[in-house]
Amino acid sequence: MIIIKSQEALSKMRASARILKDTFRLLEENVKAGITTEELDRLAYEYITRSGGRPSFLNYNGYPASICASVDEEVVHGIPSKRRLEGGQIVGIDIGVFFEGFHTDAARTFAVGKISPEKQKLIDVTRQCFFEGLAAVKEGARLGDVGYRIQRYAENNGFSVVRDLVGHGIGVSMHEDPNVPNFGTLGHGIRLKEGMTLAIEPMINAGSYHVKWLGDGWTVVTCDGKPSAHYENTVVVTKEGAEILTLRREEKADG
Ligand code: MF3
Ligand code: CO
């Protein structure tokens, strides 16, 4: 069942997203060679709870941390640990915030120090995949158009789209209907309606799209060991297009 959000619900989601955006600002300043992903997790936990929110991921199906931190060939759901980030790596950070009854969810992939041109292209294309998909979003559009556009942009750039994980509706619960695949067929899928809230989250691999789960039950890695990037925002479907709840003003300039 898809939950359409009222104006009141949307203002609470904007407040939830505000905390999430500020948490990202803090983490981005701290993503550097030498920091551990556990330290980043701690910063996020402290910031979210001091703001009156709760980290959506903590204890979700037993998940043991507040953020996911996925390095290089880790696609998503990397568990923060004592591992120190090293120059040349890319790290996908995924954060969920629950505030006043509503969840928001966003992810970014950051460079640690100087990275290879191929990793930079992967980060840039993954971000642009989100905006390509978003361009299809508006009242009455088909969900398949969103996935189609994401897939086309990734593949035209020589990358592949993860099939085993998808985006999702979000709000009252972290995962609501509908599923939002990053692949699809034009003219297929449900029709979007004003007030739907979606987490659109391309997961793009430099090599093949095949992924597997590590023994910790969470970390998803590429089967070929090549890097993967993740970019996610929580958005609201509107009559004319979409409102991106989790995008900071300073991120829009280069968008
Ligand atoms: N952004 C991820 C998702 O949409 C967050 C889930 S991580 C978990 O599934 F730990 F909470 F599961
Ligand atoms: Co998500």
Determine the pLDDT at residue 201: 98
- Mean pLDDT of all residues in 106-120: 98
| Alpha carbon distance 69, 44 (integer Å) | 12
Query: Confidence class of residue 253 from pLDDT cuts 50, 70 and 90?
Result: low
Number of domains in the chain: 1
> How far is ligand 1, taken at its centre, from the CA of residue 174, in Å?
8
**Domain assignment of residue 70, yes or no:** yes
The pTM is what? 0.98
- Mean pLDDT of all residues in 50-64: 98
> What stretch of H or E contains 46?
helix 37-50
- Confidence check: pLDDT of 115 > 50: yes
**Domain assignment of residue 252, yes or no:** no
> How far is ligand 2, taken at its centre, from the CA of residue 157, in Å?
24
**Domain assignment of residue 143, yes or no:** yes
Residue-range definition of the domain harbouring residue 40: 7-244
Measured from the Cα of 175, ligand 1's closest atom is 4
**Cβ atoms of residues 48 and 16 within 8 Å:** no
**Domain assignment of residue 249, yes or no:** no
- Locate 56 and state its tokens: 């959506």
- Confidence check: pLDDT of 255 > 90: no
Per residue in 35-48, pLDDT (tens digit) is 999 999 999 999 99
**Domain assignment of residue 34, yes or no:** yes
When the pLDDT of each residue in the chain is averaged and rounded to a whole number, the result is 98
Per residue in 71-100, pLDDT (tens digit) is 999 999 999 999 999 999 999 999 999 999
| Alpha carbon distance 131, 207 (integer Å) | 22
Measured from the Cα of 60, ligand 1's closest atom is 11
94: which residues sit within 8 A by CB, 6+ positions away?
57, 67, 68, 69, 70, 76, 77, 105, 106, 107, 230, 232
- Confidence check: pLDDT of 127 > 90: yes
**Domain assignment of residue 96, yes or no:** yes
- Confidence check: pLDDT of 139 > 70: yes
Query: Confidence class of residue 252 from pLDDT cuts 50, 70 and 90?
Result: confident
- Mean pLDDT of all residues in 165-172: 98
Per residue in 7-38, pLDDT (tens digit) is 999 999 999 999 999 999 999 999 999 999 99
- Mean pLDDT of all residues in 211-226: 98
Please give all residues whose beta carbon lies within 6 A of any atom in ligand 1, as ranges.
Answer: 57, 60, 63, 68, 77, 94, 96, 105, 168, 199
Query: Phi, psi at residue 128, to the nearest 5°?
Result: -65, -30
- Confidence check: pLDDT of 110 > 60: yes
Strands (E), 46-101: 54-55, 67-71, 74-76, 90-99
% of the chain residues with pLDDT over 90? 98
**Domain assignment of residue 253, yes or no:** no
> How far is ligand 2, taken at its centre, from the CA of residue 164, in Å?
13
**Domain assignment of residue 251, yes or no:** no
Q: What is the CATH number of the domain that holds 127?
A: 3.90.230.10
